[in-house]
């Protein structure tokens, strides 16, 4: 098995594990900030272990540009997880995870626009499918809200 395949498998398993942690946190009514702290703290610890222990990179040789990139992006990722977990209480976990995974289209579009990466037929097809799925999600959510509103009892009639 190739190294790329192993990283892909580890990535999928990691996302699945993070999803389980979020679901458990939601089920046990844990505070969203604590869930984000635990998941990001664990990922930080595992990253340090992998980098410094497995690959032998000592702390004193840490390039400053790595820190300048890691700190703001790690902070943004932690905030995103915190907002995601806070918003979960108002929606469905399956829809929320789908939207997060579909949001990978944003860096793809940016890399095509900024770095002028070639947009192959496969990438274009995937981007079109992502946009289509987001439109269908929006339509389904809107349709579900309309049905819920039409089934809900009228508060004026109940009071009479």
Residues 5 and 83 in one domain: yes
The proportion of the chain whose per-residue pLDDT surpasses 90, expressed as a percent, equals 0
Tell me what the pLDDT averaged over the chain comes to. 78
Answer yes or no: is pLDDT of 132 > 70: yes
**φ/ψ (deg, to 5) at 71:** -65, -55
* DSSP helix/strand/coil, 119: coil
pLDDT band at 119 (very low <50, low <70, confident <90, very high): confident
Q: Answer with the residue of higher pLDDT: 42 or 98.
A: 42
Banded pLDDT at 6 (limits 50, 70, 90): confident
Verify that 64 and 119 share a domain, yes or no. Answer: no
Name the pLDDT band for 57 (thresholds 50, 70, 90): low
Question: Is residue 97 in some structural domain?
Answer: no
Confidence of residue 154 (pLDDT cuts 50, 70, 90): low
Q: Is 140 part of a structural domain of the chain? A: yes
Contact 78, 40 (CB under 8 A): yes
Same structural domain for residues 140 and 82?
A: no
Residue 158: inside a domain: no
Could you tell me the residue range of the domain that residue 9 belongs to?
A: 1-90
Number of domains forming the structure of the chain: 2
The reply to whether 9 and 39 lie within a common domain is: yes
Claim to verify: residue 142 and residue 72 sit in the same structural domain: no
Let me know whether 6 and 85 are in one domain.
yes
């Amino acid at each position: 098995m190739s190294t790329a395949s192993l990283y892909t498998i580890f990535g999928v398993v990691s996302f699945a594990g993070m999803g389980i942690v979020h679901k458990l946190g939601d089920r046990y009514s844990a505070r969203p900030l604590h869930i984000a702290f635990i998941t990001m703290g664990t990922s930080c610890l595992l990253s340090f272990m992998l980098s410094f222990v497995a690959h032998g990179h000592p702390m004193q040789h840490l390039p400053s540009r790595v820190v300048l990139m890691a700190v703001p992006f790690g902070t943004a990722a932690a905030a995103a997880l915190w907002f995601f977990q806070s918003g979960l209480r108002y929606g469905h976990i399956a829809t929320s995870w789908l939207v997060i995974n579909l949001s990978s289209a944003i860096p793809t579009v940016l890399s095509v626009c900024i770095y002028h990466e070639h947009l192959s037929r496969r990438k274009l097809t995937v981007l079109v499918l992502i946009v289509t799925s987001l439109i269908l999600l929006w339509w389904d959510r809107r349709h579900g809200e309309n049905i819920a509103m039409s089934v809900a009892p009228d508060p004026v009639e109940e009071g009479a």
